[in-house]
């Protein structure tokens, strides 16, 4: 009796379709990924049951941690315009290179007198640099207030929009620092702003 | 698909010696491996939990406004945020009603807010007004927690106000400062 021969099939599969799908997904994830801005200090944001997401653009964020306040605003053009206006106000002339460098800086926290030196640093060194935070004294030296005001002006001038303000604070931050920030905001008649929180894992009901 | 037909048409015999054509089929396995590796990387690094924005409204500082309505003391509840995650609350004016110490969360502040909110609603027919007064020893988390409880318990009107000296004394007396 002749044996039935099983025809051997090749085990190699056509990978083309799989490859297509994989790269499609890859492209999707790359394009949706938003580069995360690294906070200069460790900020552990508190949790809440609020479900309203932080707006993607047109946002000014004040990061509060370790008693220091850091400033960041969305949009390279707004950052640049803010720097120019601050330069005029404080009689500091920023060169075009410095303006470009500053517009690529997502978050910073140095007094304006030190800003030139800070911008001159290499990106690696900037990460190492211990930023002292933006001065927010109640007296004449309230740079934080000026930064906020100039950024709002720049946003109105460039996009004709009202800048939204968010406060991103650390869990352990003592209240006086937060109070300073709130006072600066209310002094500018910003009575509505946001506290940035994370979603509580399971809402306690 | 990824291979081209490389077989020559007819099997003419004789004639030129054709060089053997290599198949153009590429092994895509390694490429797929790489693609999935990168997908995994991007999937894991994307932040799924987007941060949330809690709306805060502060009372207007403008002193020119004169048409402010005084709120009856019986309707106002004051929360004093003290040190060590403790909160003291009382209804009415400081010193007249003894404050009670409680904690944040479900069994502490939330219970008090719901109970007192209903009591005030029944006795005065109006909603309760909550004043949050954080002391210098409280943390940012305490403030956010307190505001979150307001949202959960549906407190209609609230304000973040600076703490006053007699209220600080209360906190100190109870060891929460």
Q: Cβ of A176 and B43 within 8 Å?
A: no
Instruction: Name residues whose C-beta falls within 8 Å of residue B139's C-beta, 6 or more positions apart in sequence.
Output: A171, A172, A173, A174, A175
pLDDT in tens, A42-69: 788 888 887 788 877 788 888 888 888 8
User: What is the model's pLDDT at position A60?
Assistant: 87
Asked if B140 and A175 count as a contact pair (C-beta separation under 8 A), the reply is: yes
Tell me whether 0.85 is exceeded by the ipTM: no
Asked if residue B19 has pLDDT above 60, the reply is yes
* B136-169 confidence digits (pLDDT tens): 888 888 888 888 888 888 887 888 888 888 888 8
**Which DSSP string corresponds to chain B?**
--S-----SS---SSS-PPPPPP-----HHHHHHHHHHHHHHHHHS-SS--EEEEEEPPP--TT---PPPPPGGGEEEEEE-STTEEEEEESSBTTB--EEEESSIIIIIHHHHHHHHHHHHHHSS--EEEEEE-TTSBHHHHHHHHHHHHHTT-SEEEE----HHHHHHHHHTT--
Whole-number pLDDT of residue A24? 92
Residues 30-49 of B with CB under 8 A from A: 31-32, 35-36, 38-39, 42-43, 45-47, 49
pLDDT of residue A37: 66
Distance CA A105, CA A121 (A): 12
Domain that holds residue B106: 73-173
Write down the pLDDT at residue A63. 87
Residue B7 in domain: no
Q: Do A177 and A133 contact (CB within 8 A), yes or no?
A: no
User: Would you say residue B125 lies in a domain?
Assistant: yes
User: Is B141 in contact with A41 (CB distance < 8 Å)?
Assistant: no
Residue pLDDT, tens place only, A161-200? 888 888 888 888 888 888 888 888 888 888 888 888 888 7
| pLDDT given for residue B69 in this prediction | 64
In chain A, domain spans: 47-199
- pLDDT in the model for residue A113: 82
Q: Does position A202 have pLDDT exceeding 60, yes or no? A: no
Q: How far is the alpha carbon of A10 from chain B, nearest alpha carbon, in Å? A: 14
CA distance B68 to A90: 39
Rounded to two decimals, what is the model's pTM? 0.72
d(CA A114, CA B17): 78
Q: Residue B111: closest CA among chain A residues belongs to which residue?
A: A205
Average confidence (pLDDT) over A19-31? 88
Task: Report CB contact under 8 Å: B143, A175.
Answer: yes
B46-88 residue pLDDT tens:
766 677 888 888 877 666 555 556 677 778 888 888 888 888 8
Which residues 6+ apart lie within 8 Å of A166 measured at CB? Answer: A54, A59, A60, A61, A62, A193, A194, A195, A196, B53
Give the residue with greater pLDDT, A34 vs B146.
B146
A132 reaches B (C-beta below 8 A): no
Q: Could you tell me if A147 and A82 are in contact, meaning their C-beta atoms sit under 8 angstroms apart?
A: yes
Q: How many domains does chain B have?
A: 1
Across the range A90-117, mean pLDDT stands at: 85
d(CA A203, CA A131): 36
**CB contact (8 A) between residue A172 and residue B60:** no
Dihedral angle, C-alpha A56, A62, A63, A68, nearest 10 °: 170
Q: Is residue B139 part of a domain?
A: yes
- The CATH number of the domain where B141 resides is what? 3.30.420.270
Q: Is residue B159 assigned to a domain? A: yes
The reported pLDDT for the residue numbered A35 is: 65
Question: Is residue B86 one of the residues assigned to a domain?
Answer: yes
Residue B162 lies in a domain: yes
Sign, CA dihedral B168-A175-A147-A73, equals negative
Domain-located, residue B90: yes
End-to-end CA distance of chain B: 75
The whole-number pLDDT of residue A141 equals 64
**Structure confidence at residue B65 (pLDDT):** 54
Provide the mean pLDDT of chain A: 82
Instruction: Considering only CA atoms, give the Rg of chain B.
Output: 35
Neighbours of A97 (CB within 10 A): 10
Task: Give yes or no for residue B2 having a pLDDT over 70.
Answer: no
Q: Is residue B53 part of a domain?
A: no
* CB-based contacts of B17, cutoff 8 Å, min separation 6: none
Chain segment A1-24, per-residue pLDDT in tens? 677 888 887 777 788 888 899 899
Residue A194: phi and psi, rounded to 5, are: -120, 145
Best of A22, A163, A199 to mutate (most B CBs within 10 Å, chain B): A22
Residues of B in contact with A176 (CB under 8 A): 136
pLDDT score for A205: 46
């Amino acid at each position: 009796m002749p044996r039935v021969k099983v025809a051997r099939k090749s085990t190699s599969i056509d990978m083309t379709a799989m490859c297509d799908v994989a790269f499609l997904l890859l492209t999707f994830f790359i394009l949706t990924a938003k580069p995360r801005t690294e906070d200069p200090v460790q900020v552990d944001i508190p949790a809440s049951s609020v479900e309203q997401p932080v707006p993607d653009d047109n946002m000014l964020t004040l990061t509060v941690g370790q008693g220091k306040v850091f400033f960041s605003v969305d949009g390279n053009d707004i950052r640049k315009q803010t720097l120019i206006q601050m330069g005029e106000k404080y009689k500091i002339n920023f060169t075009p290179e410095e303006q470009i460098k500053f517009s690529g800086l997502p978050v910073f926290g140095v007094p304006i007198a030190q800003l030139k030196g800070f911008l001159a640093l290499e990106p690696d060194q900037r990460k190492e640099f211990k930023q002292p935070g933006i001065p927010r004294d109640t007296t004449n030296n309230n740079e934080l207030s000026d930064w906020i005001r100039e950024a709002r002006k720049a946003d109105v001038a460039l996009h004709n929009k009202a800048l939204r303000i968010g406060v991103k604070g650390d869990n352990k931050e003592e209240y006086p620092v937060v109070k300073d920030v709130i006072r600066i905001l209310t002094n500018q008649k910003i009575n509505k702003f946001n506290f940035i929180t994370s979603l509580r894992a399971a809402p306690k009901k | 698909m990824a291979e081209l037909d490389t077989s020559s048409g007819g099997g003419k015999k004789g004639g030129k010696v054709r060089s053997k054509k290599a198949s153009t089929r590429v092994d895509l396995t390694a490429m797929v491996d790489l693609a999935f590796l990168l997908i995994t990387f991007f999937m894991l690094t994307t932040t799924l939990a987007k941060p949330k924005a809690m709306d805060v409204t502060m009372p207007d500082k403008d002193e020119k406004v004169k048409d402010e309505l005084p709120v009856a003391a019986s309707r106002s509840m004051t929360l004093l945020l003290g040190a060590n995650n403790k909160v003291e609350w009382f209804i009415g004016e400081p010193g007249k009603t003894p404050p009670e110490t409680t904690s944040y969360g479900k069994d502490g502040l939330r219970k008090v807010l719901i109970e007192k909110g209903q009591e005030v609603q029944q006795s005065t027919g109006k909603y309760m007004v909550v004043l949050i007064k954080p002391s210098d020893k409280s943390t940012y988390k305490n403030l956010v927690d307190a505001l979150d409880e307001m949202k959960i318990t549906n407190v209609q009107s609230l304000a973040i106000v600076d703490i006053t000296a007699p209220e600080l004394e209360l906190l100190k007396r109870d060891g929460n400062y």
